[in-house]
Amino acid sequence: MDIDHTLIIALVERWRSETHSFHLPHGEMTITLQDMEVIMGVPVDGLPLVGCTSPTTNWRDVCGTLLGHRPLERELGRNKNTRVMEGPRVKAKWLEDRFSNPLSVDAPEELVQKYAQFYIVELLGGTLFMDKSGEWISIRYL
C-alpha cells in the first residue's frame, strides 16, 4: 500500500484536539467508527477491548513484553544521547530499527506475533493517529 506522507502531514496539521475534528477549507470533518471500519478492515460492533492505562503503568515493560524490545532510558552511541521513550510514546526510528529485518519463512510463532504487534502499533500510532512531529509512536494502541 502506498502512503501519501504529504497528505497525512497536511491532515495532522489541520487536526484540532479541542474539537476532535479536522478544520478544512470547506468546513469541519471528523472520523467516525464506520470510517475506521472501512480503513482498518476490522469490525467496530461488539464488546469493546480496553486495557489498563493507570499512571503507574511501566511502559518500558509493556513494550518489552508485547514487542520483545525494552527501550533504554536514552540511546547511547556516536552522537546519540537522546531520549528513546517518553511515557507511552517511543521514538519511531528506534522502533522501526528493531523490526527492519524481514521475517524468515520458518519464524517461530512468538516472533510472528511480535511483528504483528509492531505492525498494528505502527499502523495506528505511526500512520492514522501520529503526532505532529512524526517522530513518536504511542504504544497505548497495543
Same domain for 51 and 13, yes or no, is: no
What's CA 137's distance to the chain center, in Å?
A: 4
Same domain for 13 and 66, yes or no, is: no
Structural domain harbouring 3: 1-30
What pLDDT is attached to residue 42? Answer: 72
- Note the pLDDT tens digit of each residue in 40-76: 777 777 766 556 556 677 888 888 888 888 887 776 6
Which residues are within 8 A (CB) of 70 and not within 5 positions of it... i.e. 6 or more apart? 60, 61, 63, 64
Give the span between the Cα atoms of 65 and 12, in whole angstroms: 30
Average of pLDDT values for 5-10? Answer: 86
* pTM assigned to the model: 0.58
Same domain for 85 and 135, yes or no, is: yes
What pLDDT is attached to residue 92? Answer: 85
- Note the pLDDT tens digit of each residue in 23-46: 888 888 887 878 878 877 777 777
Same domain for 57 and 96, yes or no, is: yes
Same domain for 78 and 136, yes or no, is: yes
The count of structural domains within the chain is: 2
Same domain for 26 and 43, yes or no, is: no
Rounded to a whole number of angstroms, the CA Rg of the chain reads 17
Give the span between the Cα atoms of 61 and 70, in whole angstroms: 6
Mean pLDDT of the chain: 80
In sign, the C-alpha dihedral spanning 66, 67, 72, 74 is negative
What pLDDT is attached to residue 54? Answer: 66
Same domain for 72 and 112, yes or no, is: yes
The three three-digit cell numbers of residue 31, written as one number: 472520523
What pLDDT is attached to residue 95? Answer: 86
Same domain for 16 and 52, yes or no, is: no
- Note the pLDDT tens digit of each residue in 99-112: 888 888 899 999 88
